Structure 1
């Protein structure tokens, strides 16, 4: 499966991070294509300006429509995917969105900067995504974790599907505790169940630990979980013994 992701940005060098680790390996295997397009290359301004003062006054600068729209049009000639703008008005990104977007074969991400983009650019945008209710320097900062999260779930990117299926948030809960060698570190031992080799017991232990951690640290997530009969029995017992 070959997935194409094109990123429109003022700072293409920021995305060199995708040349490393898991995503880098997927690119080298031709599972992924991640391309960057410098919006400055599309400006008609002789000084390569891509921003200007906002009409009506106000602090900061606004990215102009012309270079962004021309860049989108160019990329659209080779990418039929949705144009996704990283901005504050969008829905907050989560694992469910990552799952859905990982099914797309082509995507275009637009990174805003300064005080945002000219409102007239929005007619070329299919959807807007935010990473939360806080201010960051530019869309590049949001684009990197979003693209990484999406790519991890594309078939072939990770060695095993279980690698992401058991991670925090994939099924709505936080991940269970993990241990590695040595078996005893500064008097703190690895739980015996993990050394038992009994896969069913290990699976149950991990599920129970995941539920407890989620309830204690992210009660908002816990409230949304669909608990099995066994889950409910365990949590009832846990509550009685707190």
Structure 2
């Protein structure tokens, strides 16, 4: 088990490839916040809990079929030791296993994980984990989308990056986290910067007006238009909430 301390929001990663962390999480805003103790990272090698000299963590599936399945006894031992080492609070924090059949990761789930103060993230490999492990521990299965990855590590990067940027002090401007895609159920409005004229294209005049109410109204209109065009599923939910107000 390796770590960076126990201050701040606490991430615990269970993986067969501990060298993959912190990876991209050690760069940019997340990396700076990690160094400053805004969040902490503990990386656990699942093979450390294997029960034989070969450090086996998987076996062939009962009933036949391709591939290998991660053993419930080894993985449960890794989870239990990791949560126990993190203290009492960790037992109440999310235990997440990344799986194509899980709940889709969205901004609401990101906020929920952030507000929990920490999380234990299990990165599977092979054909997945023994179903009994998922039944015996309070596991939440989470998916990035309708596609298959080689393992859960990339999904862990995505979730942690999304969480860490919401932690106090990580982003420069306080409003950065509230005026972006999904913050209120809409995709983000278009953004513009210098130069004012570029390849025959101009910045919308309203953004140059200095009239804050008009700018806010324009941005809301643009966010609604883009959401309705590109994500009708989000637009339907947003429209229902808007009608209910």
Tell me, yes or no, whether TM beats 0.5: yes
Contact 1:51-1:61 within 8 A present in 2 as well: yes
CA shift for structure 1 position 33: 0.5
Give the equivalent residue in structure 2 for 1:118.
130
Equivalent in 186, 190, 194 of residue 173 of structure 1: 186
What stretches of structure 1 of length at least 5 have no aligned partner?
230-242
Give the equivalent residue in structure 2 for 1:41.
48
Contact 2:12-2:119 within 8 A present in 1 as well: yes
Contact 2:47-2:56 within 8 A present in 1 as well: yes
Counterpart Cα distance in 2 of 1:53 and 1:150 = 36
1:214-238 superposed Cα distances (whole Å, 9 cap, x missing partner): 1111112111114769xxxxxxxxx
Contact 1:8-1:109 within 8 A present in 2 as well: yes
Q: Name the SS for the 1:223 alignment partner.
A: helix
Give the equivalent residue in structure 1 for 2:232.
219
Q: Name the SS for the 2:14 alignment partner.
A: strand
Specify whether residues 185 and 100 from structure 1 end up closer, same or farther in structure 2 by C-alpha distance, changes over 3 A only.
same
Calculate the aligned-residue CA RMSD, in Å.
1.8
- 1:21-170, aligned counterparts within 5 Å? 21-79=28-86, 80=90, 81-122=93-134, 123-170=136-183
Counterpart Cα distance in 2 of 1:95 and 1:59 = 35
Q: Which 4+ stretches in 1 moved above 3 angstroms? A: 226-229
1:184-236 superposed Cα distances (whole Å, 9 cap, x missing partner): 1111111111122221111111111111111111112111114769xxxxxxx
Give the equivalent residue in structure 2 for 1:240.
none
Q: How many positions carry a matched residue from both structures?
A: 229
What stretches of structure 2 of length at least 5 have no aligned partner?
1-6
1:136-171 superposed Cα distances (whole Å, 9 cap, x missing partner): 211112221112112222222222331121111111
Equivalent in 24, 38, 42 of residue 17 of structure 1: 24
Contact 2:98-2:124 within 8 A present in 1 as well: yes
Contact 1:103-1:154 within 8 A present in 2 as well: no
Contact 2:94-2:113 within 8 A present in 1 as well: no
Counterpart Cα distance in 1 of 2:232 and 2:132 = 41
Q: Which moved more, 1:206-215 or 1:116-125?
A: 116-125
